[in-house]
Amino acid sequence: MRDALLGVHVLAGSAGLLLGPAWLLARRAGARGRRAAAGYQAAVAVAAATGALLAVAAPGLAWLLPVALLTEGLAVAGALARRRGWHGWRTLQPHLLGGSYIALVTALLVAETGDPVLWVLPVVVGQVPIALAKRRLHATAPAPGAVGRPA
């Protein structure tokens, strides 16, 4: 049972790693990227759920449960920030979605290498695309006082 759960976890995480950039590229091309977005959200949800189950089932790994929950929370909040037009969503969304993707990359690197330094590297490297996304979103912001729903 554990091996099957681990297999689903790896597949979902891999799908998230592939769909995250697909969603980003679709958005940058002016498309909504709904399929990639839905796929990314589903992949992160499955990876987080299976990760949470694996964490509580394995001795000594329960500390990973909050990591799984936070990863899913970041992905969902990032998707909702723009859709619901949260105040400051242009600043929030790149951090939220970027944080969920950084968590997937970190999990992959740590699982493959076992090197704890790789807990920090994706966070540091990930700040560049997050900053670029924020700059791009703020550059396309409507003039102050303009009314309308976010694109």
Q: Where are the beta strands (DSSP E) in the chain?
A: none
- Rounded CA-CA distance 76/35 in Å is 15
Name the residue with tokens 């619901």.
84
- Rounded CA-CA distance 149/81 in Å is 12
What six digits make up the tokens of 71?
């990863």
> pLDDT tens digits, residue range 36-50?
999 999 999 999 999
- Rounded CA-CA distance 149/141 in Å is 11
Name the residue ranges covered by the structural domains of the chain. 2-139
Among 80-94, 96-110, 137-151, the minimum mean pLDDT is found in 137-151
Name the residue with tokens 């891999």.
14
> pLDDT tens digits, residue range 109-130?
988 998 878 889 998 998 888 8
Radius of gyration of the chain (CA): 16
Residue 147 pLDDT: 54
Closest among 57, 91, 89, 55 to 70, alpha carbons compared? 55
Name the residue with tokens 């493959």.
112
What six digits make up the tokens of 146?
């303009």
Mean pLDDT to the nearest integer, 12-27: 93
- CA distances (Å), origin 146, targets 135, 142, 143, 150: 19, 6, 6, 11
Is residue 102 pLDDT above 90, yes or no?
yes
